[in-house]
Structures are given as structure tokens and as C-alpha cells.
Amino acid sequence: MPTTTASPNDKVVMVTGASAGIGQATAECLAHSGWTVVGASRRGTSGPGWTGLVMDVDDDQSVTDGVAEVCADHGRLDALVACAGWGLAGPVEYTPLADARAQLETNFFGAVRTVQAALAPLRQAPSGRIVLMSSIGGVLGIPFQAFYSASKFALEGYGEALAYEVAPLGIHVTLVEPGNVRTDFTAGRRTVSGPDDDNPYASSAQRAISTMERDETDGVDPDHVARAVERVLDARRPPRRCSVGKFDERIGLLGRRLLPYRLFESAAKGSLGV
């Protein structure tokens, strides 16, 4: 990455998972709005107006070196947007623990690593910002995506606890909760099917995963999420949580928080394909 010097008025943001999907859309949106953007990914993808950085959020040293490089090149870090992640689907009973751990390693601990490396420079910013890309699956459990939901539920608790700790230091934390988004996340999802014979989950898993893929294909454009991130970063008092998606999905999140659980679960089953 070429060395540049940021002026005192330039705001520098690191976006992880910037090679595709929501991360890439966010990098492009923020660059267009005048941010100095470094998009971190294993491929080091760059784009118009923003710089790529090779960084693997699963690797401690890679993250430490990546954040240090951004600070060395730009002299500051004002915001972190943690978007890196992938999906895992299939019955809990047949999901290898290695796959389950890998899901948490990227989606949860990848964000944790990056936040820990970024906190020291963010404390030096006039108003440091952290945006954690959660999901509707971090508010309600999605059948046959148990470990994906677990990673996002963990991120929700982590982000809320982190916010209490860093608020006195002038750092704001926001959890962005997208619903279905139209990206290549769908095609890249890893699926565990289980045995071909005597599999009690086969039909329900196929139905639920097909419903999920259809809804994602019909979901909002990733630019919708990117613009929500931009609003969060520009807000004087950012919200703790920000939902993004179609109206019925956002109402569903509200229902999850307000309705008696049995009533909500009964209403949700059809939309989840079970």
C-alpha cells in the first residue's frame, strides 16, 4: 500500500471484508463521501478512491500488522467498520465442530481481534467510531444457521459490553443489523447436509435453506447497508443499534423484542421456512 499523509481534516476508516458484498459497498460509499478508506481483506482488493490492504482477520499477527500499517501510512485512525464474515448452514447435529469453530473464528473473533488492535489509535481520534456488522440473525435464531446466529449473538453482547467500556474514552460503538441483502454471501455459504440415509432433518433443512436463499436474492442492495453505516459514522450521537432491510424484516426485529416469545415464534416459523 502506498504511503500517504492525511491532512488534519481527513478522516481515516478501516473497513474489513472489503473484497465483496457489504464491506465493498461500504468502502465505496465512504470513499465517495470523502473518507480516506482502507479496505482490508485477504485478497487486498481496492477500488475507485480507496486503498486495499491484505489482512486476514483470522490471524493475530496479520491484524496487528494491518492496523499498524494504516496508522503508519495515514497517521491516524478515526473509525473501524468490521464487515468480514461468511455463512455456514446445516443441521447442528451433523455440523463438524471444526466448521462451527471456523464460523466463530471469523465472524466473532475476527471482529474482536480487529477492535483490540484498533482501540489504541481510536482513543487518539477526536471521536472514534466502531461499527460492528451484526445481522437479523444476531437478534433471532435462524434454523439451520445455528452457528452463524451464534456468532452474531456473541457480537451483539460483545458490542454492547464494549460500548460501556469505551464511551468514557470518546469512542462510540454501533451494531448494524441487516436483514436479507443481495450479495455473493449467498453463493459463498458453506452447507453441511448430513448423511444421505436416515437424515431426519433433510426435508426441513432443504426447505429452510431454500427459503433463506430466495429471500437473500430478493433482499436489499448492499448500498442500503453502506449508507446506513455512513449515517452512523456521521451522526453526532450514533445509535447503539441500527436495523437495515425491508419493512417486514425490521418489524420482525421489533416484534422479537416486544411480543411474548411463543407468539413471536408462531408468527416467525413460516417466514423462516420451518
- Give the Å distances, CA to CA, from 100 to 52, 198, 207: 29, 23, 22
Q: Rounded distance, CA 169 to CA 164, Å?
A: 10
Identify the CA nearest to 232 among candidates 220, 224, 222, 240.
Answer: 240
Number of CB atoms found within 10 A of residue 88's CB = 23
Out of 11, 62, 135, 148, the active site residue is 148
Q: Rounded distance, CA 188 to CA 195, Å?
A: 22
Q: Rounded distance, CA 241 to CA 170, Å?
A: 18
Q: Is 148 a catalytic residue?
A: yes
Out of 41, 62, 134, 149, the active site residue is 134
Q: Rounded distance, CA 72 to CA 66, Å?
A: 10
Out of 62, 135, 151, 152, the active site residue is 152
Q: Do the strands 12-16 and 36-41 form a parallel or antiparallel pair, or are they unpaired?
A: parallel
Q: Is 19 a catalytic residue?
A: yes
Out of 11, 19, 149, 151, the active site residue is 19
Q: Is 11 a catalytic residue?
A: no
Q: What are phi and psi of 30, to 5 degrees?
A: -70, -35
Q: Is 266 a catalytic residue?
A: no
Joined grid coordinates for residue 261: 416469545
In 83-229, the DSSP E strands lie at: 88-89, 128-133, 171-178, 190-191
Residues with catalytic annotation?
Answer: 19, 134, 148, 152
